[in-house]
Structure 1
Amino acid sequence: MGDRVTFQLSGSVAVITLDDPPLNLFGAELMADLAKAVDAALASNCRAAVIAATGQTFSGGANVRIFQGRNADQAREMFATYLPVVHRIEAAPFPFVAAVQGLCLAAGLELALACDMIIAAQGARFSQVEALIGATTFLGGAQRLALRCGDARAREIVYTADVYDAATFERWNIVNRIVPDEILIQEALEFAERLAAGPTRAHAVTKKMLRAFCREGLAAADEVILTDSVMLFESEDMQSGVSRILEQGARNARYGKKTFKGA
């Protein structure tokens, strides 16, 4: 995709990797490469995606040189270019999983928050450091933190610019799961492969329903049931799944390689 971000397909999983070590800093070039990689995933036949990074640091955030000397109009133009990448990840009709190691700061954390789920290495450390330069979260970190951990915790994280370990972020429902550092990518890929083997049409509807809830509340999410969820009745995924339940029982019925966990 470019010098700073790579894209590859691993079976039905798209793997997007920040590849500008040692810090994988965000700037115009990395964002342009990231946009191309996300577009490549959307244009592919993938059923899930992983966003990872090379090196010991997921991302040190933005290269602050891009902020130097800009006025408000120039900043608005810059972020009007960057934010659509975040929005495309969130609107993708398949799950995105962030695999985070080392430091994950500022824009790096905002990228991870755009993903459906975050898998963190035990040694990962997180921070929204923008307050240290008299700024706030320009890629939507504050509000996306609030969706996961509540507005009071989001305020604490953004106001203080403190550094938090993976265990704290898991306890606060920001990180989904923690794995040993040495198997982070393996675990993230296996998890994404599990999602890709599942009912991805249903996952896409679930994602749309939750996005509607986050934007407009329960009523908007309930509307998605009537417009999108009901269409699953006409899908092979759902009809074959119902048949398996009836024929094999819920404990033994399978979708792809995974057993349903219902009673």
Structure 2
Amino acid sequence: MGLENTLLSVTGAVATVTLPGPVLTADVKEGLRDALREAGADPAVRAVVLTGTGKAFCVGQDLAEHAAALRADPGTAFATLEEHYEPIVLALTGMPKPVVAAVNGTCVGAGLGFALACDLRVAAGTARFGTAFTGIGLTCDSGLSASLARAVGTARATELIMLAEPFTAARALEWGLLTAVVEPAELAGRAAELAARLAAGPTLAYAEAKRALAAGWPAVLADERAAQTRLGLSRDHAAAVEAFLAKRRPDFTGS
């Protein structure tokens, strides 16, 4: 099966959802949301793999598109959180079947949030990770404020969010973010093998485990949305987005 912006393929009891590119435009977000919902609703699918294309898994929001939305109306520029990001995360965490993230490359911002919303993660050794949000004067979205702290502890999550320094797949494995790190050529096979194992497992038990582990997600996402909407009105955020597009370092004034 193919959706316009996101490829959804099914082999046996495993569905694979492949992002068509690293940047989250409105079209890509809609395609991803719809593909995940379709995979989640298909009774023949008992496990899902989420992966990217080329050298990147997902680098987050298309900032050119976001800058245009800010210029048009900062008050509505973050409507995409409720329309796209939150439904994507809830589709991953609420899906009554396991989801494996196959992180093929760069995974930052909302991309990291999506990966952590999956149940298990395998990554290519060449993958790089980062939070990125504070670099443009924002706090987290896609549940990252909670999922990162759950994965690595509050102290390390605070460091990763505030300093926004990138980290390697090896470090992510050491910190417990990943199930395994493999050679890039082995990633698809390893993810498929893991998904097939899960697809042959006790699906109802997995669903109940996910339901218990996902408790509180709606509140987390609502809090993040409110915080990002407030920050979207700040001078720091608008200036940082313009600086990013101009390929220069932003100057933050705390306003």
- The bucket for the TM-score relative to the shorter chain is 0.7 to 0.9
**Equivalent in 72, 77, 87 of residue 79 of structure 2:** 77
Does 2:116 match 1:110?
no
Tell me how far 1:28 sits from its aligned partner.
0.8
Q: Which runs of 5+ in 1 are unaligned?
A: 217-263
Q: 1:207 maps to what in 2? A: 210
TM-score (norm 2): 0.79
* Preserved contact between residue 53 and residue 104 of structure 2 (Cα < 8 Å): no
**Equivalent in 23, 40, 57 of residue 42 of structure 1:** 40
Amino acid at match of 1:7: L
Does 2:11 match 1:10?
yes
Please give the alpha-carbon distance, in whole angstroms, between the structure 2 residues aligned to 1:139 and 1:215. Answer: 11
Assess, with a 3 A threshold, how the Cα gap between structure 1 residues 212 and 60 changes in structure 2: closer, same or farther: closer
Kindly tell me the number of residue pairs found equivalent between the two proteins.
213
Q: Which runs of 5+ in 2 are unaligned?
A: 220-255
Amino acid at match of 2:25: G
Offset from partner CA, 1:134-193 (integer Å, 9 cap, x none) = 112222212210111111111111111111011111111111211111110110001000
* Preserved contact between residue 3 and residue 19 of structure 1 (Cα < 8 Å): no
Q: 2:185 maps to what in 1? A: 182
Assess, with a 3 A threshold, how the Cα gap between structure 1 residues 213 and 189 changes in structure 2: closer, same or farther: same
* Preserved contact between residue 147 and residue 214 of structure 1 (Cα < 8 Å): no
Q: 1:162 maps to what in 2? A: 165
Please give the alpha-carbon distance, in whole angstroms, between the structure 2 residues aligned to 1:207 and 1:84. Answer: 16
Tell me how far 1:43 sits from its aligned partner.
2.1
Aligned residues: CA RMSD: 1.8
Q: 1:223 maps to what in 2? A: none
Please give the alpha-carbon distance, in whole angstroms, between the structure 1 residues aligned to 2:5 and 2:23. Answer: 9
Does 2:95 match 1:92?
yes
User: Which deviates further from its counterpart, 84-93 or 74-83?
Assistant: 74-83
* Preserved contact between residue 143 and residue 154 of structure 1 (Cα < 8 Å): no
* Preserved contact between residue 128 and residue 169 of structure 2 (Cα < 8 Å): yes
* Preserved contact between residue 121 and residue 166 of structure 1 (Cα < 8 Å): yes
Assess, with a 3 A threshold, how the Cα gap between structure 1 residues 200 and 62 changes in structure 2: closer, same or farther: same
Amino acid at match of 1:183: E
Q: Could you say what secondary structure the match of 2:56 adopts?
A: coil
Using CA pairs under 8 Å that are at least 6 residues apart, name the structure with larger relative contact order, 1 or 2. 2
TM-score (norm 1): 0.76
Matched ranges for 1:226-237 at <5 A: none
User: Which deviates further from its counterpart, 76-85 or 27-36?
Assistant: 76-85
Assess, with a 3 A threshold, how the Cα gap between structure 1 residues 169 and 208 changes in structure 2: closer, same or farther: same
Q: Could you say what secondary structure the match of 2:141 adopts?
A: coil
Amino acid at match of 1:28: A
Q: Could you say what secondary structure the match of 1:65 adopts?
A: helix
